Amino acid sequence: MSTKGQALARPWWLLPPGRMHPSWWIGIGTVVIWLHYAAGPSAQFLVLYVIPVIVAAWYSGRQTALALALAVPLAHVIFLITLWTPPESLPLAIARTLLRGGIIVLIAFWFARLSQHERDLERYVQRLEGLLAICAFCKGIRNSAGEWEPLEMYIETRSAAEFSHGLCPSCCRLHYPEFDLDNERSRVGQ
């Protein structure tokens, strides 16, 4: 691998790329809520659900992660109100649950944004790196479908670059010898 490729290598600490259908998180969320219920009102299990929220944000996006991040504290509050006798006052237990849930919602936003940034960066790098088949005569580029596109169109559709056309002095002398570029420059400058 080249030095440039090594410098841009994926960090070891990032989750592997991929996508996961959001419907999987309904089952995972149900399991997390059931484990939370089984742990009881005094267990600090609520914070451990940050791991599935992070994985949901990475593989399924912001909406799925937010749904999971909000479902568990909401279930906890419902359990406190209807099924459990909290070890402390009910308003304090609800406030702590909502505070933890709020922090985990922020983590969900952060990881979903990081995941989207990583995907956008990957698409950008794939678009700009690699070998391009280019015609030696017309300078057309073979795209991924195997069709030949003009160089300008290929670059304009894959970047923010725009083109204007002109002639360099050597091409002007070669293709238009009757046009005296030096005389033209001095005439335009007057």
Give the model's pLDDT for residue 129.
64
Largest Cα span, the chain:
97
Instruction: Compute the C-alpha angle 66/67/69, nearest 5°.
Output: 60
- Alpha-carbon span 161 to 80, nearest angstrom: 58
pLDDT tens digit sequence for 106-126: 999 999 999 888 888 877 776
Q: Does the pLDDT of residue 31 top 80, yes or no?
A: yes
Give the model's pLDDT for residue 112.
92
> Mean pLDDT across the stretch 44-60?
82
Residue 74 burial (CB < 10 Å; 0-12/13-18/19+)?
middle
Give the model's pLDDT for residue 105.
93
Domain ranges of the chain: 3-127, 131-190
Give the model's pLDDT for residue 108.
92
Angle, helices 24-39/62-82, rounded to nearest 10 degrees = 30
Mean pLDDT, the chain, integer: 80
DSSP letter assigned to residue 64: H
